Chain A
C-alpha cells in the first residue's frame, strides 16, 4: 500500500466518522438537506414514501433534477392534493428551493415516491438517497425508516 493510499484511507475514515456523527444532515454548496425519513412498508410493497427538507442558505434558487436510491428502481417527487373530499396524487414537477428559503416535505403534501421497491422498507433500516441539484450538484443523504404511519422523523 502506498503512502498516498494510506492517507486517502485515513481521510475516508475521518469522513465516514463525520458522516455518521451527523447522519441526519448533508450539505452541498449552499444547500442543507436534513430530516430525511421514510415509512416502513410491507415486505412485498412496491411503493414507499420518503420525506426530507432542504434549506437554501445561498443567494440563488436551486432545484432538484433527479433522485436515486438502491432500494427502488425510481424515486420521483410527488404531490398529494385534496380537492373537496377526493385525494389525488401526481408528479410534482421540478422542486425548487428559493434563496434563503426551504423546501419542506411532509405527509399529505410533497413527498418522494419510491417505485418498484426491491423488498420493502423495514422499521429501523437506513438507506442512501442521492439527490442531484441543478446548481449544487450531487449529494447523498441517509434516510431513516420509521413506523408505517409515522408523521415525521423519529
Chain B
C-alpha cells in the first residue's frame, strides 16, 4: 500500500474499513467478485485451506476479500459469500470510487467487460497479496502451491512482524 493511501470501504458488517485497519496486523488480500463462479471460489477455498494449515496462528492474520464489483456486491452479499468458504474471511466493498482508490493503492487491476446477454463480468488481478502489519506488500501467494506453503510464508511474515 502506497504512503498516504486514502480510502474508506465497508466491511461485511457495514463498519468502516480504512488503510488504518491494514496497519494493525498482517493481511492476506484476495481480489475478486461474487458473480465469479470459477476462479474466485478456487482462491477463497485456498485461503480457507491456508487458515486451516496455520492452525491457531491464523488469528494473527486478517484474510480479506476485496470486491472489484461494488455495484453488485453489497455488504450482505459479501458476508454470505465469504462465509461459504470460512467465516474468518472478511468481505470488503464500498462506493465505486473508494474501491477504485483502494485497488490502486494496493496495486490491483480491474476492468468491467460487457457480455452479449447485457450483463457483465470483471477482469481482475488474480494474485493474492500478503501485507505486513503496516499494510506493505511483502509476498504473494501462488494458488498452485500447497496451502501449507502459503501458511509457511505467513508464518515467516509473522516472525518478522
Contacts and interface: CB of A to CB of B under 8 A. Distances in A.
A107 interface: yes
A148 B85 contact: yes
B109 to A, nearest CB: 6
Interface string B109-142: 1000101110101011111000000000000000
Contact of B77 (A44, A90, A115): A44
Contacts of B46: 149
A111 B126 contact: no
B34 to A, nearest CB: 7
A39 B42 CA distance: 10
29 contacts: A39-B37, A39-B41, A41-B84, A42-B84, A43-B80, A44-B77, A45-B34, A45-B37, A47-B35, A49-B38, A49-B41, A78-B38, A80-B39, A82-B126, A86-B125, A87-B39, A87-B125, A87-B126, A89-B121, A107-B39, A108-B38, A111-B38, A113-B37, A115-B117, A115-B119, A148-B41, A148-B84, A148-B85, A149-B84
Grouping DSSP codes into helix (H, G, I), strand (E, B) and loop, the B interface class, with mixed when no group exceeds half, is mixed
A74 B117 CA distance: 10
Nearest to A113: B37
B31 to A, nearest CB: 9
Contacts of B121: 89-90
Contacts of B44: 148-149
